[in-house]
Amino acid sequence: MFIHPQEILAEIETTGYEHVVDIGVGSGAYTLALASKLSHGHVYAVDIQRHLLTRLARQLHDMRIDNVTCIHANADMLGGIPLKDEIASVTIMSNTLFQSEHPQTMLKEAARLTHTGGLLLLIDWRDSFSGLGPTPEQIISEKEAIKMAMQVGFSLEKEIRTEKHHWAILLRRNFTHE
């Protein structure tokens, strides 16, 4: 059994007014779950793969969801996502770090987008699981992710219990990192 976005998102207290950046939307599971949770907020769904954003945009249209903006961008570059600094009260990166050529830069981009006191939800693979997940060389451990996130201005808020294939952590942005 894999992670269910609603269960993970239940770990984040929301008022419904938040602005959220979902970096690496993939299938759009977190974006769709958040859009219904944020009655007066907004979700910025970011991915480098246009076809995923096109599919998500169709789903959003069919479901009559209008509080999501799909953005084609490269999160592997500082300033690669065309949004203003500190726009997000929550930034989400699910199964994204392992795909990055520059995970530290991607975390700096997340820090740029997340306002001071805001949250970063990181979810990624624990292991390769005999080819089910990414290659062993691509795996970024929870401990390694925490260390990298702390270097760009986040502190660990809590570890979130997940199924055996993934880890999940919630971090809080402490300060502006140059």
* pLDDT per position as a tens digit, 131-177: 777 787 888 899 999 999 999 999 999 999 888 889 999 999 997 65
- For the ranges 93-97, 123-127, 160-164, 174-178, which has the lowest average pLDDT? 174-178
The three-state secondary structure class of 126 is coil
The three-state secondary structure class of 13 is coil
Please say if the pLDDT value at position 56 is more than 80: yes
Q: Which helix (H) or strand (E) holds 37?
A: helix 29-37
Closest-CA residue to 164 (of 130, 135, 127): 127
Task: Give me the pLDDT at residue 129, please.
Answer: 74
Task: Give me the pLDDT at residue 177, please.
Answer: 52
Task: Give me the pLDDT at residue 178, please.
Answer: 52
> Higher model confidence: residue 3 or residue 176?
3
Residue spans of the domains in the chain: they are 16-21+39-87+111-130+151-157
- DSSP letters along 62-105, please? HTT--SEEEEE--TTSTT-S-S-TT-EEEEEEES-GGG-S-HHH
What are the residues whose beta carbons fall under 8 Å from the beta carbon of 96, sequence distance 6 or more?
A: 23, 24, 75, 106, 124
Task: Give me the pLDDT at residue 30, please.
Answer: 95
Mean pLDDT of the region 35-56: 96
Task: Give me the pLDDT at residue 131, please.
Answer: 73
Mean pLDDT of the region 71-93: 97
Please say if the pLDDT value at position 60 is more than 60: yes
Mean pLDDT, the chain, rounded, equals 92
Cα distance between residue 16 and residue 3, in whole Å: 23
Task: Give me the pLDDT at residue 138, please.
Answer: 87
